[in-house]
Structures are given as C-alpha cells and as structure tokens.
Amino acid sequence: MIETIQWTDEGVVMINQTRLPAEETYVTCRTYQEVADAIRTMIIRGAPAIGVAAAMGVAIGVAKANPAELDAQLEVISKELASTRPTAVNLFWAIDRMNRLYREVRHLPFEEVRDRLIAEAKLVRAEDIEINVAMGKHGAPLVPDGKTVLTHCNAGALATAGYGTALGVIRAAIESGKNIDVYADETRPFLQGARLTVWRAISCAPARSAAWLSERTASPPMAMSRTRSARTRWRCWRRRTIFRSMWPRRFPRST
C-alpha cells in the first residue's frame, strides 16, 4: 500500500505528489506551517488525504505550542490550516474534529493533551484506510469482469491515506481476480489523472477523450468521485457525471 502520509518521530511525512511520476520523493513537515504549505502547494492533494494532513497539522502544532497559551495558539493553527484550501470539506471536518477533542481534554496536563491529539490524528488516518478498504470490498462485486473502466481526476491511493476511493473499488476488483482495463483521463490544474492515477493504474487519455473511448470500447462502467459539495460545484460535477453516463449511448461501439 502507498504510504501517502504518515506520522513519524521526525514529523509528518508525505509523498511529494508534485514530483510524480518522474520522481518518488518524500517531504517531512516539522511544523504546522509546513503542513499548511504542503496542502496549499498540492504536495499533498485529494480530499481524504488533505483531511488527514489537517488533523496531523493540528496535532504537530499543539505539540510544539507554548502550554501557557494553548487556547490562543490552537486558534491560530486552525485558521492557518483552514486558509489553505477553502473548498476542501475534509479539511474543515478534520480541523473541527481536532478542536472538539481539544475542548474535551483541555483541562488535562499539557503532555496528555498533546498525546491525545496525536493519537486522534493517527486515528483519522487509520479510519480513512479502513473506510476505503470497506468501500472497495463492497464495490468490487459491482465491477464486471473483463470490462473497461474510465476514471476522472485522481481517486486512487494518493488522494487518500493510502488505499483509494473510486480507484480503490477497481483495485479491490483486480485483487479479487477480475481482469479490468483502466483508462484515466487527465484533470486540471496539475494533470492529476495523467500524473497520479496512471502512476497507480495502467493507461491515460486526455480529458475530452472519454467520448472517443466510449465509441471504441465496450460501454464502460463509470467509476466517479465527487470532490466538491458547494451547491454550484455539485451541480457542475453532477452534469459531468450525467454526460459521461450518456456517452456510451450517444457513441455506441463501432463495428
């Protein structure tokens, strides 16, 4: 399994997604500011992975904070992390989760508060892997053997704590013995499909080639992941999903 993000004694270690696929390197964030910068510059990307990074950013910030000013410093830490990706739902969910725990344990000695927050950040990561493995287990039977799957953007291990959402289902299907062909179209702004999904999958095609593929292959099941929950963005992604579901009908397989 790809170790997208880990908590270590040295700091929060992330695979540098901006260097893939040409170079597999890792970045160690030793402060919450460095975690925030990694999110902002897309060293780490993908909603679940960003959530884990945010939780670990809060934990490392508290661990290095002045115990006498912990309340005020936690507010600064949280605001800095929240400013990195204003549309990332998992980011705010993780920050809120860590703040709720802090309010529950703030009366304890600093060392216990620190340890509880670090443990919670590690739990966020473990839960994400568990959820995605379960998603793959339940979704794999729905993927027909011997078929072609088209994915959009990056919904693989790199977008999560290490297993994958939409691509995790495909991964589980292949692990169960099914023969699946995978096409991953590219995505703006950093060609996530071309650089990241394909690093974990098989082949790549331009974003607007989905109709072309549908015309030349058996109608592919669409493994999609919606990354935005704001009202207007949700509508945009839903339309995109509908259009892709229509392509196999609009462009039947050539004979």
Architecture of the domain defined by 5-135 = Up-down Bundle (1.20)
- pLDDT computed for residue 158 by the predictor: 87
- pLDDT score at 141: 94
**Tell me, what's the pLDDT at 203?**
36
Domain ranges of the chain: 5-135, 137-250
- Please report the pLDDT score of residue 3 as a whole number: 82
- Report pLDDT for 202: 44
Q: What's the average pLDDT block by block, 10 residues per block, for the chain (255 residues)?
A: 89 93 92 98 93 98 96 97 90 97 97 98 97 94 87 81 87 89 71 69 45 53 48 43 47 44
- pLDDT for the residue 217: 56
Whether domain 137-250 has CATH 3.40.50.10470: the reply is yes
pLDDT at 55: 98
pLDDT computed for residue 153 by the predictor = 73
What is the C-alpha to C-alpha distance for residues 132 and 2, in angstroms, rounded to an integer? 13
Question: What per-residue confidence (pLDDT) applies to 148?
Answer: 83
